[in-house]
Amino acid sequence: MVKFNRSMRAALLAGASTMVWLKCLGAVWAQESLPDILIGSPQQSAAPAGQADAPAGQSGADFSYSGGPLIDPAQSPEPNPVSSVTPEGIRILGGPAQASSYKPLDLMPSVIEDSADPYGLSFTRSITVRGVSDFFLSRTIDGLPIAGIVGGADLIDLSNLSRIDLYRGSLQANQGLGFASAAGQLDQIMLPPKAEYGGWISQGAGSDGFWRTAARVDSGLLPTGTAFFVSGSWTEANKWKGDGDASRKNVMFGLSQKLGDNIDVKVYGVHNDQKAYSYLPLTYAQTTMLSAYAWADYNTQFTGKPKVDNNSYLFNKTRYADNAIWTEITYKMEGDQSFVLKPYYWRNEGSQLTTSGTGVKLWPINNYTLGGVAEYRKRFSWGGDLLLGYWGEDAKPEPPPLGQQQFNVTSVGTLSYANWSVLAKSTDHEFYSPFMQYTQSYNATTVSGGVRLLVEGAPALQYYTTTGLPQVSYTDVFAYAPRPDPNAAVAARTFTDWLPNLGFRQQLSNEWSLNASYSRKTGRPDWGPQASSFTGAEAAFLKRGINMQTLMSKIRPELVDEIDFGVRYQSGDLTIIPTFFGFTTHKKEVLVYDPNVGQSYYQSNAATNGYGFEIEAIYKASDHVTLNGTFTDASETYKSNIATGTNTLMYIAGKQVPYTPTIQAKGAVTWHDYGFEITPSIRYVSTRYGLADDTQAVSPYAVVDLNASYDLGARLGLKAMRLNAGILNLTDRRYIGAISVNEDNLNSTSYYVAPPRTIFAGITANF
C-alpha cells in the first residue's frame, strides 16, 4: 500500500498547479501538437491559431455541411478501439439543443443513450457502453476529468467541439482518468480559436416550447499572436408531459498564445447554469400498459392533502451552476521532446428537491475538483515514443450527501421545515496516479504498452445526530453542536491498483490491418447510497452488529480486464471494422437485499463475464450519398450466484446483466445535392431486463429520426445562411428508454418513457 503524508499531498496536487495558474493569469492559448508522437493523442484537433483553418466539414463551429460520415472509426492509429463523432455527426446527432455529450453517440456500436426529454436538457439521462453504465465512464475534456461525480451537467456547447472520441474497450495509460473507467472514455475535443475573424449566430425552435439562441465570435489571429473566441447559448423547453420546464445558459471563452518558438499556451473557461423539472419514473407494471401510463407524471394540482401534494412537480426539480477553467502549457524542447502541464478547476453549486416519503427532501450541493496532468514526451530516432506522466486530483465530495433537510407539505401547498435528515462531515477524495506508455513502430508493426498506478484516497466520514437542529445553512448548523454518531463514522481508506495495458497493430497491406489490445480498468465504489442505506435503517443494522464502518468495508473499486481483437479494411470509399471483445469484472459492486438485516445495501461480491462482436462501416456510395452503419451482438452475464446474507443466495448465475441488450443495429444515410442535405437514421435495441434474474423484460424497439437542411447561400452581407429542420421519433413510437441509472441495482428498478415525436427547425448565419 502506498501512503502519502499531508505535505506530500500538498506538493503533488498543488505545487506545480500553483506555478501554472500564476503564469496563466497573463497568458493566452495556442494549439500546437506533436503529430509524430502518437501516444494517447493520435488524432489531430482543428487547426491551431496561426495556421490554416480546418477544411470544410472539419470544424464544429463553422457549420460546414459536407455530407460526410457521422461516425468515423478509422482516424486513429492506436491499437485500442476508438470511434469519433465527426463535426457532421455532432451537428446532426447532437440534436437541436447541442447540449448533451451523450446524444451524438447514438450511432456508436454497443452504446445505448437515453434521456427523459428529447433535447438532452433533463438530468434524467443514461448511457451504457458494452453494457456498462455511465456511472463507470471516464468523461473528459481534452483528456482532463474536469467535472466531479455529482452535480453539474455537460459544460460544453457541442458547437465548440471539433469531435467526440469514445474508447469503448481497452485504454492506454494516460486515458480513462477520473473516478472510473470500466465503461471506457468519452473525450470531448475542443475547437480552439480560429486563425481568421468570423463567427456564426443560430436560432432554433421546436415542439414543447423549445427555443435556443446561440452564437460564437472568433477574433482571428491578432498581430500579438493572440487569438480568442467567445460563445454563448440560451436554451429553454417545456417538459413533453406534465408541468415544468428546463433551461440552460452557457457562456464560454478560449484564448491562445504562442510565446516564442517553444511555448504554446491555451486557456478555456466556461460558465453553465442549468435547471430542469424531473420526469416521473414508472413501475414495471405500468410499463406493461404504456397506452394508459405513458403520459403519467408528477401532480400538477394541489389537493390540500399533504401526502398527495408532496408528489407535485414543483417539489421535483434540480439546478446546477458550474464554473470551470483549464489550461495547457506546452514546452517543446530539442530532440523531439516536449513537456505539457494541464491544470484544471471545477466548481459546482446547486440543489435537488425530491419527493421523500410523505414529505420533500432538499439536497444543497456544493463541490469542486482541483487537479492537473503533467506529461513528458520523447520520440527516439529508432521509432520509439515514450510518455511519462502524472495525474493528481483533489475532489470535495459529494456524494455521499453531507447535508439534507426534510420538509412537510402544508394544506396550502407550501413547504414547512421538519428536520435535518442527513448531516455529516467528510474529508476530500484524492487521486495520485503516475503513468508510463511506450510505443514502438517498425515498418508495418506497432507495439504499445504501459502501466498506470492508481492510488485512490477515499474520504473519512462522520455523521451526526440531527434531533432538534434548526433550519439554518450547512455551515451554520455546526454552531449548534450536533452530536457525532459513533456508529456512523468511517475512517479514510486508500486503494492501490496497477492498471497495465498492451496493444499490437499490424499493417497487412494497403487495405488490411489487424490489431489486438488488453487493459485493466476500474469502477468507483458507490459511497453515497451505501451511507444512505445505513442512516436510513441504523437500528436494523446495529441489531445485527453492523455499523457504518463495517458496511463501507463491503465495497471497494471494481476491476475490469478487457481484451479487444479487430480487423480494419480501408479502401477508397469503403471502411469496415469488425471487433471482437471480451472482459471479466472482479469485485463488481451490486445492490442486494439481505434478509438477515431486512435491508438492501451494496456489496462488492459479484463477478461477470462479457463478450461480443461489433462492426462499424462507412461507405461513400457516390459523390452525394454516404452511409454509416453499426451492429452489436454482445452478452454480459453473472459468473455465479450472489450471497445476500449469511445463508441466502440470489440465483443469478448465467443471467444477463440488467439493461444490457444482446443485439443492437443502427444506420444512417446522408444525401446532399443542390444545397439540400437529408439524413434519416434508425436505431434498433433488443430486449432488456430490469432485474438481474432476467425478469421484468422490456420490449425491443426501433426508432427513426430525420434531419434535413438547405443552404440559402450568401445573403444580407453574410458568408452563408442555412435552414435546418428535423423530426425525432418520426413514427411516434411509445417505448421505455432509460432503465434506472446503472446496472448494479439487482432488486429495484425505475423505468422512463422515451420522448414522443418531436419537431424542430432553425436557421444559422455565418459571418
Model pLDDT for residues 437-496, shown as the tens digit of each residue: 999 988 899 999 999 999 999 999 999 999 999 999 999 999 999 999 999 999 999 999
pLDDT bin (cut points 50, 70, 90) of residue 57 is very low
Residue bearing cell 508493426: 445
The string of DSSP codes covering 213-241 is EEEEEE----TTSEEEEEEEEEEEEE-SS
> What pLDDT does residue 75 have?
65
> What pLDDT does residue 54 have?
37
> What pLDDT does residue 644 have?
65
> What pLDDT does residue 645 have?
60
Q: What is the mean pLDDT of residues 645-666?
A: 80
Q: What is the mean pLDDT of residues 314-342?
A: 95
The H or E element that residue 563 is part of is strand 558-571
Q: What is the mean pLDDT of residues 186-200?
A: 96
Torsions phi, psi for 160 (to 5 deg): -100, 15
**Chain segment 739-758, per-residue pLDDT in tens:** 875 555 555 688 999 999 99
**Chain segment 562-618, per-residue pLDDT in tens:** 999 999 999 989 999 999 999 999 988 877 778 888 888 888 888 888 999 999 999
> What pLDDT does residue 61 have?
41
User: Is the pLDDT reported for residue 25 higher than 50?
Assistant: no
Q: How far is CA 480 from CA 424, 473, 483, in A?
A: 14, 11, 9
Q: What is the mean pLDDT of residues 722-746?
A: 84
pTM: 0.89
Mean pLDDT, the chain, rounded, equals 87
- Percentage with pLDDT > 70 across the chain: 89
Q: How far apart (Å, rounded) are the C-alpha atoms in residues 138 and 522?
A: 10
> What pLDDT does residue 64 have?
53
User: Is the pLDDT reported for residue 126 higher than 60?
Assistant: yes
Amino acid symbol at 724: N
User: CA 602, 659, 499, 347: dihedral to nearest 10 degrees?
Assistant: -80
pLDDT bin (cut points 50, 70, 90) of residue 56 is very low
Instruction: Rank 12-26, 46-60, 394-408 by mean pLDDT and report only the highest.
Output: 394-408
254 with 268: CB under 8 angstroms? yes
User: Is the pLDDT reported for residue 398 higher than 90?
Assistant: no
> What pLDDT does residue 29 have?
32
**Chain segment 343-356, per-residue pLDDT in tens:** 999 999 999 999 99
pLDDT bin (cut points 50, 70, 90) of residue 58 is very low
The string of DSSP codes covering 274-298 is EEEEPPPPBPHHHHTTHHHHTT--S
Q: What is the mean pLDDT of residues 399-424?
A: 93
| All domains of the chain in start order, with CATH | 6-766 (2.40.170.20)
Q: How far is CA 384 from CA 64, 162, 220, 247, 499, in A?
A: 37, 28, 37, 50, 22
pLDDT bin (cut points 50, 70, 90) of residue 718 is confident
Q: Residue 182 is placed in which grid cell?
A: 470500466
Strand order in the sheet with 125-129: 111-115, 125-129, 132-133
Task: Using CB atoms within 10 Å of the CB of residue 90, give its burial: 0 to 12 exposed, 13 to 18 middle, 19+ buried.
Answer: buried
147-151, 299-303, 361-365, range with the lowest pLDDT: 147-151
Q: What is the mean pLDDT of residues 205-228?
A: 96
Q: What is the mean pLDDT of residues 77-96?
A: 90
> What pLDDT does residue 4 have?
42
Q: Which residues pair with 368 in a beta bridge?
A: 347, 396
